[in-house]
Amino acid sequence: MAIQKVLVTGATGQTGSIVVHKLRERTDRFEVVCFARSAEKAQEKLGSVDGVEIGDVMDRASIDRAIAGCDALVILSSSVLVMKGPPQPGQRPEFEFLPGAYPEDIDYNGQRNLIDAAVAVGVQHIVQVGSMGGTDKNHYLNTLGNGNVLIWKRQAEQYLIDSGIHYTIVRAGGLIDERGGHREILVGKDDSFFIPEQNMPHKLPRADVAEVVVQALLEPNAQNKAFDVVTREEDEALPTSDFAALFAQTTPGL
């Protein structure tokens, strides 16, 4: 099979770096280009700056350089909350987004830049990683830093669908730093895992999200699908191994 050249944005993030490592392990299927803002962080998180393009999602020219010749794009870039001043004794810490790095900037306008650049060079498939909770405009995540992060992510998802490129939208539940490959992966829609009375699972290891991303690039029936993803606890069920069957449970559209 032909090797896919894949651009990964947010490549030095906690989940993005795992995606990069998994793709690099599959040299028979992937050539990886990493998009990062810092060469120093790329060296630290990825072990090398080979195959790393330095740029910013707000800078279309840097995106155009990085995405040239790519067949696929994985979007893992995301706005980041920072602590607002030193924590005060007895008070909850406050968080904010830095100027120019609000969700509207990074999660919407930045992702529009990426999608537009992908359309311009003929990218065939975009895997976009977001978050569950987007059906609830009053979700507490939207209140953090007054950023409305889930609202902007949702708008970027619709922009991708409307672009005409084959898409896979992966909305991750609560991310945890535990080993991957040892849990049953579950997919759903419309925040169906947020049903308190049914005690539904709503977390998953970053490594399992990364594996879903890699498999979405390999499995044709992951294309033009959008879904929520969580896992059961270890030992509750057999680990997922048939990703074609998993993606067969997913559906198109937001």
Contacts of 20 (CB under 8 A, 6+ apart): 8, 11, 32, 34, 46
Containing 66, the helix (H) or strand (E) segment is helix 60-67
How is 229-252 classified by DSSP, letter by letter? EEEPPTTSSPPP--HHHHHTT-BS
> Residue 238 to residues 57, 172, 202, 214, 233: CA-CA distances in angstroms?
39, 20, 18, 20, 10
Residue among 69, 77, 28, 76 at smallest CA distance from 51: 69
- Active-site choice (48, 78, 131, 163): 131
Contact assessment for residue 141 and residue 88, using Cβ atoms and an 8 Å cutoff: no
Other C-beta atoms within 10 Å of 43: how many?
14
Active site residue 241: no
Active site residues: 131
